Chain A
Amino acid sequence: QKEVEQNSGPLSVPEGAIASLNCTYSDRGSQSFFWYRQYSGKSPELIMSIYSNGDKEDGRFTAQLNKASQYVSLLIRDSQPSDSATYLCAVNTGFQKLVFGTGTRLLVSP
């Protein structure tokens, strides 16, 4: 079992819709969770971090964490074509080692 798993996609949504991205992780002791966005040919950039169970909102982005079920999700409201990118879930598995999933490609059509 991979440490961090994501559906590779692509996930296609129309402009203005809600995009829902999911991630599961295997290490039950993980404490820190992150979502990075990577545009084609570019480096990843942090968009959200979450440490506690529940929801965390930042603008159009909401991260959701459920430690009991070992999943993390990212919701993007009012999706825009500029949101089209690969979204990487990352989990701290201990001692600051950050493990990334393979990413979900999101396509937002005008």
Chain B
Amino acid sequence: GAGVSQSPSNKVTEKGKDVELRCDPISGHTALYWYRQSLGQGLEFLIYFQGNSAPDKSGLPSDRFSAERTGGSVSTLTIQRTQQEDSAVYLCASSATGRGANVLTFGAGSRLTVL
């Protein structure tokens, strides 16, 4: 696609429920990133994919968080047994490799509210 697409744009859930957030990167972009941004805060790195592999999962806050990427394209971030502190905007970004590496294009984000 022309840009990075994320869904849902807004998700309200009850504490303890599982949620799935989806990211569809720019076609041809091999690198895909997930960040989390709490209200008024900076971007917290969660995980990065190169192709289908995740060389760096160090930012995942707990074992309730997992992510996968299939076919080198779409990625899903899953949060199990959601807690109120998980409320944030989850941003996905993609980039090319080589000279385009780290030139991230962000999606519009998925705003998660845990009641």
Contacts and interface: CB of A to CB of B under 8 A. Distances in A.
Interface of A: 32, 34, 36, 43-46, 49, 88, 90, 92, 95-103
Q: Interface residue tally of chain B, by bracket?
A: 20 to 34
Given A32-B102, A43-B108, A97 B31 contact: no
A43 B31 CA distance: 18
B102 A44 contact: no
Interface stretch (B11-19, B48-56, B70-78): B48-56
Given A43-B91, A49-B102, 13 more contacts: A32-B101, A34-B102, A43-B106, A44-B104, A46-B105, A49-B103, A88-B43, A97-B45, A98-B45, A98-B48, A100-B43, A102-B41, A102-B42
Contacts of A99: 45
Interface of B: 31, 33, 35, 41-43, 45, 48, 50, 55-56, 91, 95, 97, 101-109
A33 B35 CA distance: 18
Contact of B42 (A43, A45, A98, A101): A101
Nearest to B92: A43
Contacts of B109: 43
Contact of B101 (A43, A45, A96): A96
Contacts of B105: 46
A51 to B, nearest CB: 10
12 contacts: A36-B104, A43-B106, A43-B107, A43-B108, A44-B104, A96-B48, A96-B55, A96-B95, A96-B97, A97-B45, A98-B45, A100-B43
Of B55, B104, B108, chain A has the most CB atoms within 10 Å of the CB of B104
A49 B105 CA distance: 13
A100 B48 CA distance: 14
Contacts of A49: 102-103
